[in-house]
Structure 1
Amino acid sequence: MCPPMQTNSQTAGILFSGGQDSATCLAWALEKFDRVETIGFNYGQRHDVEMRCRLEVRVAVREEFPGWADRLGEDHIINLAGLGQISETSLTRAVEIGVHGNGLPTTFVPGRNLIFLNYAAALGWRRGFSDLVAGMCEADFSGYPDCRKETLDTQMRAISLGLEREFTLHTPLMHLSKAGAWDLAAQLGGDALVEIVRTKSHTCYTGVHSDLHAWGYGCGECPACELRARGWAEYADGAP
């Protein structure tokens, strides 16, 4: 059995779905760290077109930003099919998008972000990085309890204790609206990055990736599309 690599504080692993938020966070990480490895999760999601889009985002970032190209490291795909098999949600089944009796949206996949962080940290333990980057946000989100800062801080404390190594989670979008996320992309990479996020990323819950709207691809009707479209409109009006 190979031992873990020596910890490198200049390397980060990013939870990278290929959506608007993770694409923006990728640029943020490439500005902050010398090396960034992307981590994708295949959990049986209905919108699995994101698995293709995440690769297209990586390619576009390499081509448009030579200064970041050498920093963009390996891509890792983690198979979490079991999560989809036990989840009766609108993201993993042909279930109508709505709200449960307990107030949580049917798109909430129980434990998803907590599981993602555990696996990303386990990979980091082996690969030698202890900085993780993710696009969770509690300012303008879909009501998921595992996006809250308190939840994430508690999870990271448990991970650090359990792996006997201090892990740090960076969430640059935590307190930003969707308009603020568009604005951050513009600050990081100008119009070129905004265009990559707009035309290469995928956020739509239903997996529709056929019609390009002003704000990007999607069905235009699901909660993810509505959030993205509203954020784009506010950003375009100059009000992040």
Structure 2
Amino acid sequence: MSEPSSRHALVLFSGGQDSTACLAWALSRFARVETLGFDYGQRHKVELECRQVVRREIAEQFPQWAGKLGDDHLLDLALLGQISDTALTDARAIELQANGLPNTFVPGRNLLFLTFAAALAYRRGASVLVGGMCETDYSGYPDCRDNTLKAMQVALSLGLDTPMTLETPLMFLTKAQTWELSEQLGGERLNDLIVEHTHTCYLGDRSQRHAWGYGCGQCPACELRAQGFAAWRASKGGQGAFA
């Protein structure tokens, strides 16, 4: 068995589909898993409420993971929202910018998240950071690219003078494959939990219930989640207890 420090993971956990899949992935691999969320003035702040619901449901529905699920942490990064000028932190239409990136891109967000996460992990004795970054189905965010994350892993390890492993289990998965991964990890029960309790919608809309979960159904995050869900269902021949 590995040393405790190498088996203590900290998951960047927003309360969305991807981070919930990553949390399940980490719980299936490490002896202890803690979670970390960020309040940066996001429009979809409802995700912060969903985080606690998801954690509670995972502990109740998956007793084999409950004992591994450690403390939760929430950091106030309001400053990031103050210096951002994006559709994730201001009430404006979502659109592409002149540089080709969507205006939902919050410059430096993942870089800051990982820096704070690494500092917390260092203090908590964790040597593994787990994030849901993905460059297969991502929305054009340069801080979700594999090369960016590899560079961050090197920088964090050097800066802390201790190995800090950055795991991104979704990096090369499509959204349909993410649904498949969570099913492999926790069966239909986990995907049902994801549908009912996680939040993805950029607008923070939980008034509309779709087969894939709650959301406006029109923002890029909802469209990606819906398309992935449909593709996953199609690959299963339309089977599944979802309505």
Percent of pairs with identical residues: 59
Amino acid corresponding to residue 65 of structure 2 in structure 1: W
**Would the aligned equivalents of 1:130 and 1:166 in 2 still touch at CA under 8 Å?**
yes
State the alpha-carbon separation in 2 of the partners of residues 175 and 28 from structure 1.
15
Alignment of 1:179-198 (within 5 A): 179-198=176-195
* Alignment length (residue pairs): 234
* Equivalent position of 1:107 in the other structure: 104
Identify the match of residue 24 of structure 1 among 21, 25, 48: 21
Give CA-to-partner distance per residue, 1:24-62, whole Å, 9 cap, x none: 000000000011000000000000000000111001101
The one-letter code of the counterpart of 1:147 is C
- Encode CA deviations 1:130-155: one digit per residue, 9 max, x unaligned: 10000000011111000000011111
**3-state DSSP class of the match of 2:6?**
coil
Alignment of 1:54-133 (within 5 A): 54-133=51-130
| Correspondence 1:167 to 2:167 | no
Alignment of 1:128-147 (within 5 A): 128-147=125-144
RMSD (Å) for aligned C-alpha atoms: 1.0
TM-score scaled to structure 1, two decimals? 0.96
Matched with 2:150 is: 153
- Structure 1 runs of 4+ with >3 Å offset: none
Q: Quote the offset at 1:7 in angstroms.
A: 6.8
Structure 1: runs of 5 or more not aligned: 1-5
**2:211 matched to 1:214?**
yes
User: Structure 2 length as normaliser, TM-score?
Assistant: 0.95
In the TM superposition, what whole-angstrom CA distance separates every residue of 1:55-93 from its partner, at most 9, and x where no partner exists?
110011011100000000000001100000000000000
2:241 aligns to what?
none
Structure 2: gaps (5+ residues): 237-243
Counterparts of 1:238 and 1:25 in 2: how far apart (Å)? 22
State the match for 1:3 in structure 2.
Answer: none
